[in-house]
Amino acid sequence: MQNTPVETEISFIEVGADTAARAIAMRLRPAEKPSGQPTLVWLGGYRSDMTGTKAVEVERYAIERGAACVRFDYSGHGSSGGAFTDGTISRWLEESLAVVNRATEGRLVLIGSSMGCWIALRLIQELRARGQGDRIAGLVLIAPAPDFTAELIEPNLTEAEKTSLAERGYFEEPSEYSPEPNIFTRALIEDGRTNRVLDGTIVTGCPVHILQGMRDPDVPYTHALRLMEHLPADDVVMTLIRDGDHRLSREEDIAKMKQAIGSMLA
């Protein structure tokens, strides 16, 4: 990987009203000259922020290709305001829609990582419902975790975790990626049920490329295979990476991500 380009300045938009208002941090990198290419929009994962390796590499690739790029942090993440424990899929979707509506024009390629893939799929559903589905030029899903609260968390809750959810409104579990534990709230889990996408046919109306590690300890590759079954109407390519983990941040993984994005910019 090359040296990181000069860091894009942070700008903010306000989302929500009254006590639900929060400042959402964005890094907007415009195209140096009009190219007609879609804008790349990065949608990060649970507890990830826009300074992560993949997010920065997406922006670097946008610069190489002469395309615009948008990175941002959900509320409770990175440089954005709001409490992480207030976060739900609906809340983070609202913020993603606000970023797309206020910070982008024209066609988009959405690049989602883990939970960001769920947000991306819901974002497309919302845009299609508003008659804006033709804005989506492509979708790249990295270690996709749609419906992870209902499909991967709820069925595996221990009695202690169920008790904690009932009595404290959340439970904690150790994180492999941070010294701080992961926190899953009752609100997140309940809201996740209302945002499920694996309960019927998903229509994106655009090419889809899924990148999935087969040694992913957090989201089994069978989950990605199931997602593919729910995309029967779309042009879907899946790349299974035999020794890939959940992050897919190695140089060879980044190369595959860029190749997938590039196929949607052509």
Q: Looking at the 3D structure of the chain, how many domains does it have?
A: 1
170 inside domain? no
* pTM of structure: 0.95
| Spatial distance between the Cα atoms of 51 and 135, rounded to a whole number of angstroms | 26
174-195 average pLDDT score: 92
Q: What is the mean pLDDT of the chain?
A: 95
Domain containing residue 74: CATH number: 3.40.50.1820
Tens digit of pLDDT for each residue in 201-214? Answer: 999 999 999 999 99
Whether residue 68 is predicted with pLDDT greater than 70 in this model: the reply is yes
Token output for 199? 């309960």
| Spatial distance between the Cα atoms of 186 and 182, rounded to a whole number of angstroms | 13
156 inside domain? no
175 inside domain? no
Structural domain boundaries, residue 141: 10-147+201-265
Of the pLDDT bands very low, low, confident and very high (cuts 50, 70, 90), residue 4 is very low
Residue type at 11 in one-letter notation = S
What is the DSSP code string of 57-101? HHHHHHHHHT--EEEE--TTSTT--S-GGG--HHHHHHHHHHHHH
